Amino acid sequence: MPKPLLVMKFGGTSVGSPEAVRRAAELAAHAAADFRVVVVASAMSKVTDLLLDTLEQGERGDETAVEANLQALLDKHMAASAELVPSERRPAVEARLRELLDRYGRIARGMLLLRERPPRSVDEAVSTGEKLSTVLLAETLEAAGVPAQAVDSAELIVTDDLFGSASPLMEETRAKASARLGPLLADGVLPVATGFNGATAKGVPTTLGRGGSDFSAAILAAALDADQLWIWTDVDGILTGDPRVISDARVLPEVTYNEAAELAYAGAKVLHQRTLAPLIDKEIPVWIKNTFRPERPGTRIGPHAGERMGVRAITSLPKVSLISIEAVSFTQSGAQLMSRALAAAVRAKVDVLMLSRSSFRQNFCMLVRTAEVEAVLESLRDELALELDHGYVHPIEIDHSVGLVAAVGEGMRGTPGLAGRLFTAISQHSINIIAIAQGSSELTIAVVVRQDQLEEAVRAIHSECGLGSAVDVA
């Protein structure tokens, strides 16, 4: 019997310094005693931001900034190599790091020349961070006596060509990933795969969206039929609220796939929003654990999470906008207008995070990410051009100064009066509720409030649900 297969993902902070890379390698080496291990790693923290910033500076024509950033990227990875890689391997490793950064530099300088930043070239360039970090992590494992090999996930994950937010094609990925990784695993070599990136069937490089290394790890876990996925990060697990907003947030020992997916979708950065989808059918369990405190139990995500009443966690999305559409006359069908608006959003490939409708006034509003407002507006104006031109529909209104707060928990459906309590808690802080939505699954209650009152709303609901205290009262 082969050992069970474990995919381990290390996030940006977990490979963010030579010391962290060493810890990550130790954790992988330790797990390799009991499992066949595939590691997936993010870029060192802040590197992806720097890579993207460099390309923006290129488009802007700022040569000095581009060159300074290129030097900073080289220095950071060379310094890490000097600490992590034994001297006999260093020339080869440094040559590889230089080669990767030279290739990236050519793309950045090309943008400088053309004053253009095509999404396809951005995707090719931006996964350089993961290519660099995986070289360092694989070498660190080798230095610790664990045979390891850095693998570019462009060779493993097949995606569509939506640059910047590509989706995996699972059958093709399964074939490619097992053909490439199977022999390594059979030979006892630990693959260290890049997070964040893939390639189309024709081999054009793509990325899966910011924070997408979690998703990469889940895609590979599903494609390889892994027994478990462990996501190593910089907090003790999934907490009842964002620790940057809520000082007494607690670690949740267990959450369900549905809860974790809702939390991720509604802004809990600890998991990329698409992470869980590939794992649910196969019921592959996920653990979220702290690289810097590995002895902590972490959070287990699976199909069930024990009997529990009430809200499990609170999360929020600050960068969202509310788009309101209203028919001029009540003789027009608001429902029809809404269905056309939704179709327009789908065509623009924009996620509608929430939808709320008043049937009497024939108006409705939809919540989208602020970054996607322009795309959805263009599509809406196209769809409703006739009505807007003839004044059958009021001019579309957009409110950028809102935020979404969401209470999530499977147990909410068994807790009568919960919604009322949440709204009371919010209004006791004089926070104005702009819109409300509760899916029929009753897994999430979402409330739109003013952006400057968002954190207060999160704290009010967290406290009302007793999530921060030792005793669960919600």
Residues that bind ligand ASP (CB under 6 A): 11-12, 42-43, 48, 129, 195-196, 210-213
Torsion of CA 151, 154, 157, 159, to 10 degrees: 170
Residue whose CB is less far from ligand ASP, 44 or 393: 44
Out of ligand ASP, Mg ion, ligand ADP, none, what residue 268 binds, judged by CB under 5 to 8 A for its kind, is ligand ADP
| 13 binds, options ligand ASP, ligand ADP, Mg ion, none, Cβ within 5 to 8 A by partner type | ligand ADP
* For ligand ADP, the closer CB: 221 or 376: 221
CB of 263 to ligand ADP, least distance (A): 6
Radius of gyration, alpha carbons of the chain:
24
- Closer residue to ligand ADP in complex, CB, 31/245: 245
Pick 43 or 189: Cβ nearer ligand ASP = 43
Residue 66: which of Mg ion, ligand ADP, ligand ASP, none does it interact with, CB under 5 to 8 A by kind?
none
**Nearer of residues 191 and 211 to ligand ASP, judged by Cβ:** 211
205-207: strand order across its sheet: 158-159, 197-200, 205-207
Minimum Å gap between C-beta 277 and Mg ion is 16
What DSSP letter does each residue of 82-123 carry, written as one string? HHHS-TTTHHHHHHHHHHHHHHHHHHHHHHHHHT---HHHHH
The total number of residues shown for the chain amounts to 474
The entry of ligand ASP, ligand ADP, Mg ion, none that residue 313 binds, CB within 5 to 8 Å by partner kind: ligand ADP
Q: How far is the CB of 245 from ligand ADP (least distance, A)?
A: 8
Which of ligand ASP, ligand ADP, Mg ion, none binds 210 (CB below 5-8 Å, type-dependent)?
A: ligand ASP
- List Cβ neighbours of 56 (8 Å cut-off, separation of 6 or more): 117
Please state the closest distance from residue 235 (CB atom) to ligand ADP, in A.
4
Shortest reach from residue 217's CB to Mg ion, in Å: 10
Strand partners, 324: 365, 397
Cβ atoms 269, 224 nearer than 8 A: no
State the SS3 of 319-388: EEEEEEEEECCCCCCHHHHHHHHHHHHHHCCCCCCEEEEECCCCEEEEEEEHHHHHHHHHHHHHHCHHHH
Position 188: which residue type? G
| Backbone phi and psi for residue 2, each to the nearest 5 degrees, phi listed first | -70, 160
Decide whether 244 or 390 has the Cβ nearer to ligand ADP.
Answer: 244
CB-based closest residue to ligand ASP:
213
The residues of the shown chain that bind Mg ion, judged by CB under 5 A, are 11, 211
